[in-house]
Amino acid sequence: MQLIFPVFKWNRASRGAQKRRERMRQLDPRQTGNRFLKPDEFLAETHIVEPMPEAHWHDHVELNVITRGGMTYLINGKQVSLREGAIYCFWAAVPHQVISAGDGTELVCIYVPFADLLSLAVSSDFKNDLMAGHVVTGSSIDAADTLLVTRWAREWDTNSELAADILRDEVRLRLRRLAADPRIAEIGLGALEAEHRRQAMHVADRRVVARVQQMTTFINNEFARPINVADVALVGGLHPTNATATFQKVLGQSIAQYLRRRRLNHALKLLADSDMAIIEVAFESGHGSLSRFYDAFQRQVGCTPKDYRRRFRA
């Protein structure tokens, strides 16, 4: 049976939205890794969910709130159902598709630049959960969220830079509140361990964040080549030991872990969206050999590449 996947359809036609649609048509996601936003752009928009045949991905962090209806994602190989009124957060570099949605389901999407996540005063465990492909939600539904995100979407095309700054700050604060008491949506069980929430928070120094952003940008652009930690450190202007410590402090994971995750994300996308042979997927995603690719894939995804692809072809 062929799966049918929904697409997001804009329900308002502002000048800004029209420009973004034009950019979406012009950009090749295989080159940009991003369908319509620059990596440093925020955005909040309301969508009506309708069927589409493919996954999408981009290097932002997404906040989602269903204001009417319900839908189910297939993300990181797991089905995650979104409830009306609840807030959800995930790293959108993980290929994700909506595999079902109620008629007239309305979704507000907020796209947060990845660099902003790095600089937020939140625990490294929250960042780790997002980077591991989890969908994070709150401990309970807050009725204020529907009103809040609807206002963000309505006001986002403001011509006032001051108002735009305030909106971005509101989004950052909501992310911090979510990170203070998160749940993993796909398992739906209990809170993250209390000691995770009690971890000391920090606001990363801007220069440190800038170095990490340089390194993540390099990885995102060059992961398909045989790069290593020393190559990444050189881009950040640091000794490999210092680069790893800096990366770990800001992102909550090592350079090697991030590089493995980025390669895996690209492999997931190729397996879902292309007819490439698995050996081609292995080398196209930067894995040095087929055996290493299989080992990494089974360790991180829990199944073989062939089984993962079969989920999208059944």
Q: Output the DSSP codes for 111-153.
A: EEEHHHHHHSS--HHHHHHHHTT--EEESS--THHHHHHHHHH
Q: What is the dihedral of CA 129, 130, 131, 134, to 10 degrees?
A: 70
Q: Are strands 136-138 and 182-184 parallel, antiparallel or unpaired?
A: antiparallel
List of domains in the chain: 5-198 (2.60.120.10), 206-313 (1.10.10.60)
* Contact call for residues 61 and 88 (beta carbons, < 8 A): no
Q: What is the pLDDT along the chain (314 residues), one digit of tens a residue?
A: 333 334 444 444 344 444 443 433 333 333 333 345 777 789 999 989 876 666 677 779 999 999 999 998 877 657 889 999 999 999 887 767 888 899 999 999 999 988 788 778 888 788 878 877 789 999 999 999 999 999 999 999 888 999 999 999 999 999 999 999 999 986 433 323 333 333 333 344 567 777 887 888 899 889 999 999 999 999 999 999 999 998 887 766 789 988 998 898 788 878 877 889 999 999 999 998 999 999 999 988 788 999 888 876 66
Angle at 229 between CA 227 and CA 235, to 5 degrees: 80
* Contact call for residues 187 and 213 (beta carbons, < 8 A): no
Q: Which helix (H) or strand (E) holds 73?
A: strand 71-75
Residue 191 confidence (pLDDT):
29
Closest CA to 124 of 232, 261, 251: 251
* Contact call for residues 1 and 47 (beta carbons, < 8 A): no
Place of tokens 């369908």: 35
Q: In whole angstroms, what is the distance from residue 39 CA to residue 32 CA?
A: 10
Give me 141's structure tokens.
């539904």
